[in-house]
Amino acid sequence: MPRFGAWLVVVVAVGYPLLVLAFAGAPAFPSRTDCVVAPTGEGEYQVVFGYRDSELEALQLRDQALAVGFQGTEISRDGCGRVRVAVDDIPSREVGEEVIREARTVDLDPTLEQGG
């Protein structure tokens, strides 16, 4: 009987993942572009100074933005394996575009994204 139990465990351990793949398909993971949310015209926005692959790189960009006066600049994981450097809670598209114009005068190249 112990042999039957061991075989049953092996069959279930191999069979279950195969059945899931056969009926549900491979798992879908977000791409990097899936984590960039273009502005839609409603809600709050983010001024995103950039994405970096490591927290150290993101902290350097954050410090650069803070040094030239962009208070509230923070880093956060984007869910797609990168670190976002952004100012959140921008109340309108117009305010976000003004922040972007100001940032470009000090050699930063941010984008406007929909807030989360």
Residues 6+ apart with CB under 8 A from 30: 79, 80
CATH classification (class only), 32-114: alpha beta
Identify which has the larger pLDDT, 108 or 116: 108
69 vs 15, residue with greater confidence: 69
Domain ranges of the chain: 32-114
DSSP one-letter string for the chain: -HHHHHHHHHHHHHHHHHHHHHHH-SPP---GGGG-----SSS-EEEEEEEESSHHHHHHHHHHHHHTT-TTEEEEE-SSS-EEEEEEEE--HHHHHHHHHHHHTTT---EEEE--
Average pLDDT score over the chain: 85
| 96 or 116: which leads in pLDDT | 96
Q: What percent of the chain has pLDDT over 70?
A: 72
The two structure tokens encoding residue 5: 């139990």
Of the two residues 87 and 32, the one the predictor is more confident about is 87
Q: How confident is the model over 36-75, as pLDDT tens digits?
A: 778 887 788 999 999 999 999 999 999 999 999 999 999 9
- Whether residue 80 is predicted with pLDDT greater than 80 in this model: the reply is yes
pTM of the model: 0.73
